[in-house]
Structure formats: C-alpha cells, structure tokens
C-alpha cells in the first residue's frame, strides 16, 4: 500500500458522511466520478417507480390525479429541493427541462426589468443551450445579448442592463463564480439576475434567499441524483411572484386549471411557473431520490467536496508525470465547485482508457478530462484510485 492509499483509508475512516454511500446503488469495482453529468441511483427509487407504475397508474388509473400524490408533486418536490439551494418554501417549482425553465426565467425577468433597458448580459463561457435560449429570449423581448466573462461581469453591468444570466459553476473548468457579489452588482445597477445552478445545486451552499437572487434554474439529475432526464426546477423569489409573467402560460399554471376558461389567470406563487401536465414517473422518481438527503447538511457536503478535490489534486501531482496534465480548476476553495478538470493531449482517448479500467469520468472538447465529486457516495479511496489509474495510463 502506498502512502497515499494509506492516507485515503484514514480519511475515509474519519469521514462522517461515508455511510451515505449505502443509500446508493453502485456497481462493484467502479469509481464513479461523473455525478456532475448523471448522479448515481439512490436506494428506494426503483421500488417507488414500480409502485407508481403498478398501483398508482395500473390500479388507481386516473384517480391518482385527484386522490393520490400526483397533482401537487411540482410544488411539493420544489419545497423538498428548496433547502438544498437556500430557499424558503413556496419559491421552487419542479417540472420541464432546464432549458424550458431558463426560457421562462429570462423572459419573465425581462418583463420585470425597468423600462428602457436594452441589454441581456450573458456568461460568455456558458453551456451552449443557455446561450441559445438567451438569444431566443432576447429576440422575443427586444433585448440585445452581450457576452461577458463572469470574472468581468461586475464591471460590465450598467444602466442599460436589464437582465444578467450567469452559471454558478462553469461546466468545463469547475470554476465557481461569486454569486453574492455578482448578484449585489446587478442589483446596484438596477438589473435582475438569473443564475443557472446545474453544477452547484446539491454540491455546495447556494443561498438564494440570503443573497437576494431574483430567479434561478437547475437540473436534478446531477448532484441531486434524480435520474436521467429528471425534471428541472425554477426558483422565483417571493417578491417577484405576483408580477412574474411567464412566456409559457400553460393550463397547469392557471389559478383554476379545471375551470377550462379561455382567458389565462396565473396561479398565486411559484405555481405560476408550471406549464403542462407533469411527467409523473420521473417526477416521483426524483422525489424518492431526494430521500438520500435526509439528515444531510449541504455545508457538510461542501466541506467533504473540497477535501476530496484537494486530495485528488495532490494524488494527481504525485502519480502523473510532470507536464502531462494541467488543472484548469482553480486551487482556491472560494473559486472551486465540486469537480476537477484536467487539460491534456488526446483527452478523449485518455478518458476512454480510464473508463475501460473502471474509473468513470467524462471528456469535454477539445482537451479536458472532467471528474465530478459527489460527496454523498464518493470517498477518498475513489479519488486516490482514479489518480493512480491516470498515472498508470501515462506510464
């Protein structure tokens, strides 16, 4: 056993969250470091989905809409997610995809913005769909998209800025952006801000209410482990709810959906963020998956995440020959999410070889190896083995 292997064993033995791994179904012999793309399967989800299919759908049929748990699922599950992103109840609604929720949030924010403002400031390094949606929202609302590096965003926000869209964590590099400071800068200039939490929700404290965020969106299939394609969430701060004008006024967001009136009257609260019929199978799978968070503090998850990524970087430095990889993830804790991204030549081939050897991460074009650390089920021995395997690949 190497010194780093012994250290990993000691760290795992002292880890107060280590037992949470038993709440997940993971294949033997695999190190899974791709939870920032798709979280592992929580225990209990398969049984819950089988119950929904066999009993609630198969036996109760349409009665489950009125007598079961189906109709209220979007807001009920939203309240379950709310504490994980620092929101009080009644401000998060679940449903649709991240892209659809982002469209609602951006157009809704533009309609809330002060008259005469012309600029939609967008993270220049954003995940592509955010850029596509922002461009469409801008065309609809008469705004002009202005790309900006998040590190320069505070200085770029001005009197013409209506809305700012930023990613809390950069999906390629794992760089964590300063949500409190950038939110304050937007508000100081009289603008609204929309945050994409896909790579931070469930990985670190977000503090939506504490920092006065206006609107936010996030997916649930990464650090929240909701399953492939699980529905996303939309946060609408309470102070904006009465004036929030969704560009997708579906019947599920109506104040009286079963009245079937021709005129739209939005429901009270975040429920007006609903659109169409909820995707019940994935919705209730997500609800069961969130049970894995019972009794878990996000602050403890963050502490372990930073310890894991620190240790992984230490192991990479020890095992991988000098000059073969370069970390593009910031070393500073206040600038790091819950992933480590390493730049190297032939990154796709290297990742394919890692996966063949039982270490699952992912590749991002053109040259990035990406490793996501989900502290609920990843341990220090996993981090050490991943780095050691990478060192073996490089000889």
Residues classed as catalytic: 127, 196, 221-222, 370
Query: Cβ distance 271 to 93 under 8 Å?
Result: yes
CA neighbours within 13 Å on the CB side: how many for 231? Answer: 28
The CA distance from 150 to 56, in Å, is 46
Place of tokens 């013409």: 160
Question: How far is the C-alpha of 251 from the C-alpha of 263, rounded, in Å?
Answer: 10
Q: Which pair of structure tokens corresponds to residue 184?
A: 């304050």
- Of 280, 237, 230, nearest to 97 (Cα)? 230
Task: Write out the two tokens for 35.
Answer: 């939870």
Phi/psi for 242 (5° steps) reads: -65, -25
Tokens 């929580």 — which residue?
42
- End-to-end Cα distance, the chain: 19
3-state SS assignment for residue 320: coil
Strand partners, 339: 372
SS3 for 137?
A: helix
Spatial distance between the Cα atoms of 17 and 296, rounded to a whole number of angstroms = 8
84 close to 200: Cβ distance less than 8 angstroms: no
| Alpha helical stretches, state H, the chain | 3-14, 45-51, 63-67, 73-81, 98-112, 128-141, 153-156, 179-188, 238-241, 280-289, 298-319, 347-356, 380-393
* DSSP string of 157-214, one letter each residue: --TTEEEEEEESB-TTT-BBP-HHHHHHHHHHTT-EEEEE-TTTTTTS---TTTTT--
Q: Is the peptide bond before 294 cis (omega within 30 degrees of 0)?
A: no
């Amino acid at each position: 056993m190497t010194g780093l292997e012994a250290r990993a064993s000691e760290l795992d033995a002292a880890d107060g969250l280590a037992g949470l791994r038993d709440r997940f179904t993971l294949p033997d012999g695999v190190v899974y470091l791709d939870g920032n793309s798709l979280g592992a399967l929580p225990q209990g989800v398969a049984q819950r989905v089988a119950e929904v299919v066999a009993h609630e759908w198969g036996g109760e049929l349409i009665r489950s809409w009125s007598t079961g748990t189906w109709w209220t699922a979007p807001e009920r599950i939203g309240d379950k997610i709310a504490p994980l992103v620092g929101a009080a109840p009644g401000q998060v609604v679940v449903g649709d995809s991240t892209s659809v929720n982002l469209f609602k949030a951006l157009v809704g924010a533009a309609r809330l913005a002060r008259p005469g403002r012309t600029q939609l400031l967008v993270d220049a390094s954003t995940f592509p769909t955010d850029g596509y949606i922002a461009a469409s929202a801008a065309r609809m609302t008469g705004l002009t998209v202005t790309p900006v590096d998040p590190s320069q965003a505070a200085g770029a926000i001005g009197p013409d800025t209506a809305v700012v869209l930023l990613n809390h964590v950069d999906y390629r590099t794992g760089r964590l952006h300063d949500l409190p400071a950038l939110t304050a800068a937007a508000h100081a200039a009289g603008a609204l801000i929309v945050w994409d939490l896909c790579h931070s929700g469930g990985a670190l404290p977000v503090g939506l209410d504490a920092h006065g965020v206006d609107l936010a969106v996030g997916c649930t299939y990464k650090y929240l482990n909701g399953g492939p394609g699980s529905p996303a969430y939309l946060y609408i701060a309470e102070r904006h709810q009465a004036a929030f004008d969704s560009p997708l006024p579906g019947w599920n967001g109506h104040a009286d959906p079963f009245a079937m009136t021709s005129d739209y009257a939005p429901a009270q609260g975040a429920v007006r963020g609903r659109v169409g019929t909820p995707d019940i199978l994935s919705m209730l799978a997500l609800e069961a998956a969130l049970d894995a968070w019972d009794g878990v503090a996000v602050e403890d998850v963050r502490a372990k995440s930073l310890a894991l990524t620190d240790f992984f970087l230490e192991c990479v430095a020890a095992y991988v020959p000098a000059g073969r990889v370069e970390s593009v993830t910031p070393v500073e804790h206040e600038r790091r999410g819950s992933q480590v991204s390493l730049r190297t030549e032939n990154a796709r081939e290297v990742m394919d070889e890692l996966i063949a050897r039982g270490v699952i991460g992912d590749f991002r074009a053109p040259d990035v190896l990406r490793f996501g650390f989900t502290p609920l089920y990843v341990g220090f021995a996993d981090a050490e083995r991943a780095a050691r395997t990478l060192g073996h690949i490089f000889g």
